[in-house]
Each structure stands twice: as C-alpha cells, then as structure tokens.
A and B are shown apart, each in its own frame.
Chain A
Amino acid sequence: MEIVRAYFRSPAAIVGLFLLLVVIAMAASASWLFPRDPLALAGRPLVWPFTNPRFPLGTDNSGRDIAAQIFYGARISLLIGGVATVIAVLIGIVIGAVSGYYGGWVDNVLMRITEAFQTLPNFLLLLVLIAVFGSNINTVIIAIGIVSWPAPARLTRAEFLSLRNREFVQAGRTLGLKDLKLIFGEILPNALPPVIVYASVVMAVSILLESALAFLRLSDPNVASWGNLIGLGRDVLRVQWYVSAIPGIAILLTVLAVSLVGQGLNDALNPRLKGR
C-alpha cells in the first residue's frame, strides 16, 4: 500500500499510468468499436483525417481504416511488448540467477555467452532471426524476446552477486535448503524489484523493435500493427504524411507511457529514494 502511495506521489508516473490504461482500453474495445477486419478494404485509399465521418482518422494507401488499425494495433503492440518482455526476462532471470549464484566456471561460461549476444547489435541479430525463421507474428515476438535477454541477465546476476552472501542466504544454507529453493525461493524475490523496473525498458524497446522491423517491411504483413502502417505510409510520406504520423504518435505515446510507469515503479520501489 505504501508503494502505491509512493507511486502516485509522482505526476509523471500518473500520466504514464493513464496513457497505458488508455492504450489497454483501446486494445480491449477494438473489436467492439470496429467489428470488421481492420485489414479489409474500407473505402477509397488516402482519405484525409476528419474529412469523412466514416473514417475519423482517414484511410491508408490500401484503403483501410486507419482508426481501426490504430485500435487493433494497440493489441499487437501490447502483445509484442508483453510476451517478448516475459520471454526476455525469464531467460535473463534464469541465466543471471544461475550465473550469479554459482559463480566460478558456470558464471564464466554463461557470461561469455551473454557477451556474445551483447556484442552483436540486437537489431541486426533480429534481422537475421527473421530472415531465417520468417516474419510470422509469433516468430517476430519470440525473436524480439531472444535478442533482448542479455541486459536482464546481467542485472539479475549483479543482484545475486550482492545477495548471495547475505545472512538470510547463509541461514537458509545452514538449514539445509536446496540450491533451487535458495535461488528461486529466497534470493530471487529480493533481486526482483530492479528487474521488474528494467522490464519496462525491455517492453518499450520491444515495441520499437517491431516498429523498426515493420518499417523495413519485414514484420508480419497479415496483422494490423502500428509499425506496418508506418512502413506502408512511407510511400506517400511527402503528401499524405498522416498515414505514417498517426501510428507514429501512437507508438510515441505508448513507449512514453511504459517508460513513465517504469520510472514511477523505480522511484516507488527504490528504498534509497524514500522520503525524497
């Protein structure tokens, strides 16, 4: 309860949460407000926003309703952000925890692997994965998760390194707790808050990664995603700039919302900032 109060002390965090709730509401109401397939032909292509009441945000260069794509796109963005983040954080936690807890050669091997991933620019690695496995929305999400795990792994490892010799751990060890129980039952809950905060960064980056892929026309063309709309709008950028601008603003606001919420969580969870 105290954390909640601490969170709401920051105006930026409130704005972030509000924006995030709006995006979630858009995703939830999409099929109710726009019962038709958002990728279906809705009317003439390139109708400007606010000119035809049927298309409040206009139509894109394939004659599809931009408003419908924005609402359905919120689903895809949240799906990508959510699932890819879960994948990245899960891999990261397991590798970081094992590495930090055991140290020694296990740590060495796992950290060299992590570094191998970190030295490759993650977008290039993502392009390779997409080129190999194809640009289906599922593979895109999994690939984004796979390229995003090293940072959470590093963070978890650092937390584990500082926690593994604390008294409560040693007490647990003296009581005969198994390693697994110690790692996931005792240390991890204490190491989790910074990782959860960092997850918001991973989520924001995941949404941006998918948009970047779609901008290069490498994302799944069969789903209504904001990135796809931007990529499509590139062809008409000079005259019908709104096709790219509208989803661009949507991405901006969503990433901003996720980041502000992350920042707010960080401030609320970080004991050193207490009372500031």
Chain B
Amino acid sequence: MNFTRRAALMTSAAIAANVVDPFRAFAQTTPRKGGVFVVHYGAEQRQLNPSIQASTGVYIVSGKIQEPLVDLDAAGNPVGVLAESWESTPDGKTITFKLRRNVTWHDGKPFTSADVQFTAMEMWKKVLNYGTTLQLFLTAVDTPDAHTAIFRYERPMPLNLLLRALPDLGYITAKHLYENGDVRQNPLNLAPVGTGPFKFVQYERGQHIIADRHDGYWKGPANLDRIVWRVITDRSAAAAQMEAGQLHYSPFSGLTISDMARLAKDRRFIVSTKGNEGNARTNTLEFNFRRRELADIKVRQAIAHAINVPFFIENFLGDFAKLGTGPIPSVSTDFYPGPNTPQYPYDKARAIRLLDEAGLRPGAGGTRLTLRLLPAPWGEDISLWATFIQQSLGEVGIRVEVVRNDGGGFLKSVYADHAFDLATGWHQYRNDPAVSTTVWYRSGQPAGAPWTNQWGWKDDVIDKVIDDAATEVDPVKRKALYAEFVTKANAALPLWMPIEQIFVTTITARARNHSNTPRWGSSSWHDLWLAE
C-alpha cells in the first residue's frame, strides 16, 4: 500500500466537508436536554481565571463558567454578552458600555458595573497578558449607575480594536470575591465563579475538571447536564479514547496529525477547522540578535531562503496549513495586507550566495556556523518544523542543534534568559494585530514576558508605526498602517512567520450546535447538545 500522509490529508478534507453538511439539516430538530460532554484537556494551566490569563487552555474550561462583555457571532462580528450595547465618543477616548440587567453570579450576588470596573482596573490593566498592553492608556472606569461602565482612555482607543479584543481579553470576575488580597493568589482562580451557563464543581489536578449546568443562567438553562474535562497529555491515548467513546471533543489540534487524518475518515467524528477561525496561528522562526552572525540581515534572509516551506506544508502538514506571508494571517480580512510584502521563497543558491556575502565561509566538514534551535514543546507541527529547519539549514552549511525543553524551560530560556540562537513556536493571532501581534515586534518589552520581542532588536520606525496604528480611530487608516507594518517587519525580518494554520477540531458527530462561532472552543456552549 502506497499510503502517504498527504494522500490521507487530501481525502480527509474531502470527507470532512461531506460529513459536516448532512448534519446541518438536523440542526433544526429540538435540542435534547441532558447528557455529559467530555472534553480532552491536553495542557493543564497554573490557574483558570480568564481575566488573569489569556490562553485557549483557560478559555476551554472557564469560558463556560465566566463570561466576557462581548463575544463574536457566527459571522465574526461583536455581539454583546454581559454588555448589551456600546458607543464611543468621536475622539475615541471614552467608550461607554450598557450592561445586561438581571444577571447574577453563581453565588447569587448580582452582576453590576462595579465588577467591570474592578476587573478592568485590577486585572486587565495590571495582570492579564496582552491586556496590560491593550489597556496601557486606560485611566479609569466610571460607574454612574449599576448598569453603565464608562472606559476613559488617555489616548484614543479604536472601538473596533476594543470590541475585537474583548471576546478574549474581556472576561469579568466578581469583585466581591476578589477585592481582598492579591488577585493572582486567590484560591478561586482554580475554582472559578462566574455568570455563565455552567458552574464549577470540582478540579482534581492531573485527572479532571467538572462543571454542572447553572439553572439560573440569564439566557435560560443550557442543554447539557454536565461538562467534564479529562486531563490526557498523551495525544495517541486521547485518540484511542475518542474512538472508545470516552471523549467527545478534542479541541485546538489536540490529536496527532496522523490520528486526525484517520478519524476524519470515520463517520462517527467530524474533523474540521470550522469554529476556530478566531484562533489562527502562524509558525515562527525567531532570531536572537545577540548572536553576532544573526544580527546580519543577510544571514537571516539566507536562512529563510534555504527552507522550502511549500514542500514542508505539502508533505508534513497537508490541508491543515498554508503558506504564510507575514505576521497578519490571511483569515484576518480586516487587516490582511495581501501577499505583496517582502517574501523569502525557497532559493538554495541565493541562500548560499547570501551566506558567502556575509563572510560565513564553509569550514571543516562544510559547516559555516552552528546554531542552537529551541522548539516550543506544544504541537506536533512545531517539532516537525524544527526538524525540517535543521535538515534544510544543514544543506547550506549551517549546523543546527535542536535543544528540547519542557514548556516552562522553553519560555524561560527564550523570553527571560535569551539563551537561544533560533527558536520556533506559535504566534496566536487574536483578531486584531494590536492585541496579539505587534508585541512580537515593539521594542521595550520587559524581559520574561512570553511571546514578545525579546530578540535584542529595535527599530524606531516600526515602533512608531505600531504605536500610531494602535491609537488610530479611522478603520481605513488603521488598515493602511498595518500594511505598512507588515511590509517593514517582513523586510527587517527579526522573526519569520512563513506558515499559517487554523486549529483543527475533532468532535463526535453526535454533537449539535457546535463550531458555530469563530472561537467556539472558547465560547460558553449554552446551546450545545448531544443527539442520541
């Protein structure tokens, strides 16, 4: 049997398309009440409060328990959750949210504007990753009454930016449970209390998390009785449990590429990128400018030209990925600048010429220089990509030593200690470049902040473009500024983002009302149900 992964992926995509559609027809039937939905939880977090930590590993759990001010609808437009409406003054410095009435916390206390004020000032602005940058110029949140919150900014805050950021960075936490003591040390961070359709029951570390339906939910009770998150770190074991019917859903590409391709051919499962459009990611190659050779643009260009990205995608990642063109992925229709920015197509001869020009002549055994590459330990694609980089650079005389670490070790080595030459991982795009992307390029990031510019590189022009774009209220001008940003960033190449991916969902075909928003895995699942 001549069975290549590529063939498997091709057929899997075709089948996935066929499988998804017939179920649309069933979507009209009456939701079945009850049932337990079991979710694959691959990577445990230190805490579960989404107002304090922005991470899909947190939202997959607490997104059902706590709620944001705003979420995205099926078309990707902001829709109110705890906020009912919003408006901005023309100067962009004052944004007013009208809050939903008759919402209570799971402990029975009412949800009010004081909770919004507390969460915004004490958590988003001070602690939340990405939030601290986003809310840097937030000066105060006024609460004229219990259902109005007025955000005041020192510099203009584009309303669209805020609304696109809030689904991820706009989760509200109860003030009355957090106002005493350090919010980071609060024990409720591992037993979240919220306003959502499910209330927290139990967290057994290394085993499972359980949440039950909250009957007093403001939209009416959810369909499911219970959600269980089972901690399974071994991907192959998770796939086996999916087949045994012990798991219903593995989010965010939690299974191996080969298992996803295999399950896609099984009618009991749906394997698709649908419902993850709001969680696009790019694969990175990060350069450390403290390494003298890498500070030379010619060497970085040579490295990019030496790697045959289309070959890698076609043979290793298949239909789950496509060629990237820079820091803003093509799914971001509002900001994607098109492919006509500086690119680095595969050209081995040119790579060798550039290395020669940079003065790196082949030494003993044809080796020009030796570099340490640190791959992030999450994701099978990262490990394959690291190996491919190693193989490709070996062809042009750059010897690459792959140094593996656990998650904490990787973040510390790269973003705190700067003990790397090359690093590779994921850049997760969160619907607006100012939320998730420009921090990878803007200078002045504190050492130790993960997924930020820790390259020892600074460009005043790019810094200015980033700052201007983040405070530009006119959407058309903002888009133009981000196009300029991508052009300049690709030309300077402090890091390279040559692959775009969208997470893949593997879910039982019995699930209904799933994958119906761009960040469904993170959303509240109040309408999700399981057919017989």
Residues of A within 8 A of B (CB): 37, 39-41, 44-48, 51, 61-64, 134-135, 217-218, 221-222, 234-240
Contacts and interface: CB of A to CB of B under 8 A. Distances in A.
Nearest to B402: A221
9 contacts: A39-B390, A39-B394, A40-B391, A47-B4, A62-B316, A63-B391, A235-B236, A235-B257, A238-B258
Interface residues of B, number: 31
Contact of B316 (A37, A45, A222): A45
B236 A63 contact: no
B392 A217 contact: no
B43 to A, nearest CB: 15
A234 B6 contact: no
Interface in B291-333: 315-316
B258 A40 contact: no
B256 A217 contact: no
A164 to B, nearest CB: 48
Given A48-B3, A51-B1, A62-B391, 18 more contacts: A40-B391, A40-B394, A41-B388, A41-B392, A46-B3, A61-B316, A62-B384, A63-B315, A63-B316, A63-B388, A63-B391, A64-B391, A235-B235, A236-B256, A238-B240, A238-B258, A238-B262, A239-B8
B391 A218 contact: no
A94 B527 CA distance: 71
Contacts of B258: 46, 61, 235-236, 238-240
Contacts of A222: 390, 401-402
Name which of B3, B239, B257 has the most chain A CB atoms within 10 A of its CB: B3
Contact of A45 (B5, B236, B404): B5
B388 A217 contact: no
B2 interface: yes
B380 interface: yes
Interface of B: 1-6, 8, 235-236, 239-240, 256-259, 262, 315-316, 380, 384, 387-388, 390-392, 394-395, 401-404
A51 B1 CA distance: 8
Nearest to A235: B256
B236 A238 contact: yes
Nearest to B6: A44
A64 B391 CA distance: 10
B388 A62 contact: yes
A218 B384 contact: no
Contacts of B2: 48, 51
A251 B107 CA distance: 59
Contacts of A218: 404
Name which of A46, A47, A51, A217 has the most chain B CB atoms within 10 A of its CB: A46
Contacts of A44: 4, 6, 315
A242 to B, nearest CB: 11
A46 B4 contact: yes
A235 B379 CA distance: 11
A61 B4 CA distance: 10
A25 to B, nearest CB: 25
Contacts of A236: 256, 258
Contacts of A235: 235-236, 256-258, 380
A62 B2 CA distance: 17
A41 B4 contact: no
A61 B391 contact: no
Name which of A48, A61, A134 has the most chain B CB atoms within 10 A of its CB: A61
Contacts of B390: 39, 222
